Amino acid sequence: MEAAATTCYRHPSYETYVRCTRCDRYICPDCMREASVGHHCVECVKEGQRSVRRARSLFGGEVPTAATPVVTYTLMVLNIVAYVVEVVRSGTVDRFGMLGAVLVDAEGGRYYYEGGSVPGLDLIGVAGGEWYRLLTGAFLHLPPDASFGVMHLVFNMFALWNLGRVVEGQLGRARYLALYLLSAVGGSVLVYLVSPETTAVGASGAIFGLAASFYVINRRLGRDMRAVNRFMAGFLLWMVVSAAFTSWEGHLGGLVTGGLVTYGLAYAPAKLRTSGVQLAGGMVLVALLTLVVAVRTASLTGAV
């Protein structure tokens, strides 16, 4: 008696006599996947991939399967697009730059704010409820007609390209993005504390946070620190020199925030380097920064 022909479980019209060594279903050449022993079907391969744990870095983040620093390139694009908007739409910096507290009249004139309410003048800035400035200012740069102009953007993007690729590869995309944004806000918060009447723009605060992160990462990995120390000395010198035309408060605030965040990621006990614990730590830092801003606002407006 002739045996019945066997066909592929996915392609019934294809006659085959090869079975998947895991599920024992018949598979055709299109459905065969090489295995250490025999062949596996498509579904068994997918199931096996789901059960494999992704490799994680020393800092708790997943090691990217691709070398492309997607977050770094995305941040660069956002900064460049924001600059184009600045050029095309006048008043973008005035509307979205980091500004703590300034009084404006109906004609747009600005006056130093000393607390309380002043008839005929409106309070703008973070103290006036525009909290979004703490973040949006970090994606804007000095306009083309400023003394430093487009070079402000060029220098920052060059630094972001160099630092971001390294830090993103070590921390993983999610932690890297959180570090960048927290450093940007940390820089804005120090601007608000020290110079609330100053309009500050630029990704420098976030980039100084990446520089601090780069230092902590290399120290934690036990690498030769001589070149890293020279690099950091240059960054600190840049912070001093650039104080004439940019915000040193934003630089310092981003540097301290980025260093503290990365230190927590790098030196926490291994059992605390989980996504849940690190997310909770990030939320605590956000709450702390929010509290600092709230207290500063209350002191400026006379609410305390």
Q: E strand or H helix at 34, and its extent?
A: strand 33-34
| Dihedral (CA of 97, 98, 101, 102) sign | negative
pLDDT, position 2: 47
How many whole angstroms separate alpha carbon 149 and alpha carbon 71?
Answer: 25
Measure Cα distances from 183 to 82, 107, 207 in Å: 19, 35, 8
pLDDT, position 52: 55
What residues does each domain of the chain span?
Answer: 1-52, 70-301
CATH number (1.10.10.10, 1.10.10.60, 1.10.3720.10, 1.20.1540.10) of 70-301 reads: 1.20.1540.10
pLDDT, position 160: 94
What are the structure tokens assigned to 178, written together? 């959180």
How many whole angstroms separate alpha carbon 106 and alpha carbon 55?
Answer: 58
How many whole angstroms separate alpha carbon 52 and alpha carbon 238?
Answer: 46
Block means of pLDDT (10 residues each) for the chain, 304 residues, are 70 85 86 81 80 60 68 96 92 91 83 78 90 95 77 90 92 93 96 91 93 92 85 82 77 94 86 80 93 92 63
Count of other CB atoms within 10 angstroms of residue 114 = 11
pTM for this prediction: 0.79
CB 28, CB 19: distance < 8 Å: no
pLDDT, position 13: 83
Count of other CB atoms within 10 angstroms of residue 39 = 18
